Structure 1
Amino acid sequence: MRSTLVRRTVLTASAVSLVLLSTACGSGKADDKVGGATPTPSGAASSAAPAAKGKTDAELVALLVTQTELPTHAVRAATPAELAAAASAGSDKPECLPLVKAQSTAPVGTPVGRAGTKAVALPKSVEGVLGATVTSIALASYDGKGAEAAFASVKAAATACAGGYTGSQAGDSLKIAKVVPGAPVTAGDEALAYTAVADVDGEKASTELVVVRKGNIIATFSAVSPSGSAEQPKAVVEIQAKKLG
């Protein structure tokens, strides 16, 4: 039997897939609003603070990919409960914590602003929804060199913890058997891609993780699938990264 965390991840992915598919097939009026707030003029945001200052939550929400920009997916904003669960991420190995946080789309380091959304790949049929990849997208902005430090800590953790670790979230735990490099990603100022493989009672479940840094913003993409084998969300990463400039 799969661990509680694995079951919950699969059930959540299934539920999100079904809800978002229903939304995508309904009224088109939901459009951009499901991805966050209405964008604000970028010029005003940039002139409000020096370049070294991080962006606020509201400014980051305006930078999240929207439904109109990602028509191949159904998009909705992350809920407060999902953000709270992500923030509880922990690890049995301190050196692995930055990687576990990134995998859970929890903030790495100390950002001054955060925002998140979810995107599920639209299947070609209703039957295919249970195998759709669900991608959690998190943006975090930092003062000074905070983004560079956060990115470096995830990279170091992936190297140190390639042989595995145990991650935890909201009281449940999951044993990661290994972390291997994912398909190379070219985006932002620097990017990382990994596949975290869990082996639970003979069943394998993978999470595709992509971390992109653009200036003082870190964009994290964590993709799972009810089938247990997620695909790297290339289209989501490309469109979101372009929106960061």
Structure 2
Amino acid sequence: MSLEMVNEFWIAFIETALMMGISVLFAATLGVPLGIGLFVTSEGMFWQNRILQSIAGTIINIIRSIPYIILLVILLPLTKLILGTTTGPIAASVSLSVAAIPFYARLVETSLREIDRGVIEAAESCGASPWLVIRQVLFPEALSGMVSGLTVTVISLLSYSAMAGIVGGGGIGDVAIRFGYYRYQNEVMIATVIILILLVQLIQFVGDRAAHAVDKR
């Protein structure tokens, strides 16, 4: 592989890291409270609210049901409105964030549902307020599952980010399309696949270690 291609891959790696870093930040910042909100407003919980649960759940399910490539195209006008452009890794991070937030929120909710209800009821019987239960019971008990869910989210975003190259989002997928597909350079396509496989393995390894480190059970 030529020095030019090595440089292209390096730039693509930085672009991928940038768009994923932004989207993961939004997923963690907004997905955690959204997932907690879905759980504490569900039936039997202290803030039970069927209407809010139904509305939020429906919106999340609608976004999650849209294939990413279609979501990417649908959000181009919004991206243009927010950033003034629809190309580049930062622009691609808008659609990635929109896809990541509801995806991770559901994983957070699932982690919370795995908590023994007896633990929650014991905290409530001791007079703990809802906010205290969230901080001292729900979050610590579900943290390991949340980290595992974030690992799954990051890996999914990595595959999504490859699609962003189709509309000029840059990144590793863009290199594969421009050189591997349009110029029929098979070695570039193979190198792209190998890089993505190695990145997934690395992310999974780090995620598993982190989840094990914060597991208090």
TM-score (norm 1): 0.27
Q: Which has the higher contact order (CA 8 A, sep 6+)?
A: 2
TM-score (norm 2): 0.29
When Rg is computed on C-alpha atoms for both structures, the one with the higher figure is 2
